[in-house]
Chains A and B, each alone.
Chain A
């Protein structure tokens, strides 16, 4: 079983990597692309720490083989903020609300919340909780995370013409 080259665009940067078929997208992102902000939590798709956006849609990178996504555009947490701002507004709200303690769940949590609010601009608190049901946090007890996402949705609504 030999390696094959695949091309990925990661946070708008094009990369070419050589991968074996049994290497997951998660492994390739962390080891070959250097995107260590994508975390390995469970390896089974349950915990949400490996979440990335694949062509704009969140997926479990631990459950995809890199060979399957040749040509895809991947967005990680580091791709949320543009080049001209240090942090994305959602990240600012996380900081402000104390929604991150050890930080391990944070990349996946922020990406999931980002996608959710992008697609559901006016969620209730219960909607937010349901949307984050696939992202486990062992530290915060979730309340401050929901607070942060709620504050972010208000930001988004305020800035939407």
Chain B
């Protein structure tokens, strides 16, 4: 199969992209990496009348801005994965990016594209919610910033209005020594996730008590699930496997994942608890031993 015919336009700036999209109306779609869009077009699940190619709309690099790490929308997943700034300041992003598709998908797929596509099983939306990230958007009415919690509305549906494009996403830089982990369950490497968990943990100076935790799950519903409140029992508590198990059980009882070809809702529900437990334990381990745990 091949895509239905379309007009092809290129934008050399975000302003131009917005202008073209505004003129073209609903029938126009942005193409960046194309790693999610093109399969849909090949299968005729998407039939845009126009593609607006934004690959040359910007050439910014990841930068640090007053305690926030700013990731331009056109950052390729592979570049996110190996960015020294990301590895140093927000390594959970690198770990999550490594689960996206395969090496070729990561060479072209973009951060902005992944967020705008809003696949409920996608890695970066889950992490964006866990980190309390903010999505920067430009449209005909100007620029605005949308908290990740509000950006993802439903399956493949975001808060983007017509002719709006994601230009960057920013995340707060967490305290040095914070624990982090991203755990994904898929049938095979590179498959869409069945469930995934992003966990961030802060420990007190002794390394025994938890002073903060953030937790988000993907693949359990229409959009990333912020489960931080379910892990709140860990805060102030002496950290041991039981406190983590309690949080994992709370997550498992709370989520209601849909059934699908690759796993029943009941299986996913149970696995949501498993990935939560693994992610929290791994994050705690990393927080207790900050040197030498850059990856894996």
Interface, chain A (partner B; CB < 8 A): 1, 20-24, 27, 43-46, 48, 51, 57-60, 62-65, 67-68, 112, 116, 130-131, 133-135
A67 to chain B, nearest CB (A): 5
A69 to chain B, nearest CB (A): 10
Chain A's closest residue to B33 (CB) is A63
Contact of B102 among A21, A57, A65, A133 (CB under 8 A): A133
Chain A's closest residue to B188 (CB) is A133
On chain A, the residues within 8 Å of B55 by CB distance are: 68
Q: Are A64 and B107 touching (Cβ within 8 A)?
A: no
B134 to chain A, nearest CB (A): 29
B224 to chain A, nearest CB (A): 23
How many A-B residue pairs have C-beta atoms within 8 angstroms? Tell me. Answer: 86
Given contacts A27-B2, A64-B38, A68-B53, are A45 and B101 in contact (CB under 8 A)? yes
Chain B's closest residue to A57 (CB) is B107
Told that A22-B6, A45-B38, A134-B190 touch, could you supply 5 new A-B pairs with CB distance under 8 A?
A22-B3, A24-B2, A45-B101, A46-B101, A131-B103
Interface residues on B, range: 20 to 34
Interface, chain B (partner A; CB < 8 A): 1-8, 31, 34-35, 38-39, 41-43, 51, 53, 55, 101-105, 107-108, 189-190
Q: Are A63 and B7 touching (Cβ within 8 A)?
A: no
Chain B's closest residue to A60 (CB) is B104
A60 to chain B, nearest CB (A): 5
Contact of A22 among B5, B104, B105 (CB under 8 A): B5
B159 to chain A, nearest CB (A): 27
Given contacts A62-B42, A63-B38, A64-B38, are A45 and B105 in contact (CB under 8 A)? yes
Q: State the CA gap A126–B285 with chains docked (Å).
A: 24
Q: State the CA gap A64–B189 with chains docked (Å).
A: 23
On chain B, the residues within 8 Å of A24 by CB distance are: 2, 38, 42
